[in-house]
Amino acid sequence: MAIDSGKEYIPSNYSDTQLDKIEGQEYEQVKARHILAEQGTPSDYLRLRAIPFADEVGTFLAEHPVNWVVELNSDGQMHSLLKIDFAEHAGAMRSLAHNDGLPLTAQRVVQAVRGEKESAS
């Protein structure tokens, strides 16, 4: 596919937390991860920065039994794109698509993950 020919020029999807970039949705996800860790549910974080997805995305998905796709999009488009490109990991992906006109909150992320854990046990 023509778009795949430029993959080597796309920035890596792995991202360190950059203090000058923590705002809006990213800040709430960092906050949610902190709350979950305090409650005994540690997590990892992958910031998707470009499509087509870098190879690191598939590696990240393979390394985790459950992968939450948190996005400000009521249709869950990023979740759908990930399921198409990484179909072998589709069963481990969970969508947290949010777009009700209000900002995403850490509490919403925590409730979604907690609800998943409770229904699995």
**3-class SS letters over 73-121:** CCCCHHHHHHHHHCHHHHHHEEEEECCCCCCCCHHHHHHHHHHHHHHHC
Domain tally for the chain? 1
**CA nearest to 53, candidates 2, 1, 4:** 4
Whether 118 maps to a domain, the answer reads no
Q: How do residues 28-48 score in pLDDT, each as one tens digit?
A: 888 999 999 999 888 888 888
Whether 7 maps to a domain, the answer reads no
68: containing domain = 23-112
Phi/psi for 96 (5° steps) reads -125, 80
Peptide bond into 52 cis (omega under 30): yes
Whether 31 maps to a domain, the answer reads yes
**Bridge partners (DSSP) listed for residue 93:** 67
Q: How do residues 93-106 score in pLDDT, each as one tens digit?
A: 998 887 788 888 89
Whether 16 maps to a domain, the answer reads no
Whether 11 maps to a domain, the answer reads no
Whether 69 maps to a domain, the answer reads yes
**Bridge partners (DSSP) listed for residue 94:** 68
Per-residue pLDDT of the chain (121 residues; tens, 9 = 90+): 455 655 565 555 443 333 333 345 778 888 999 999 999 888 888 888 888 888 889 999 999 988 999 888 878 899 999 999 999 999 999 988 877 888 888 999 899 888 876 666 5
Supply the pTM of this predicted model: 0.74
Whether 71 maps to a domain, the answer reads yes
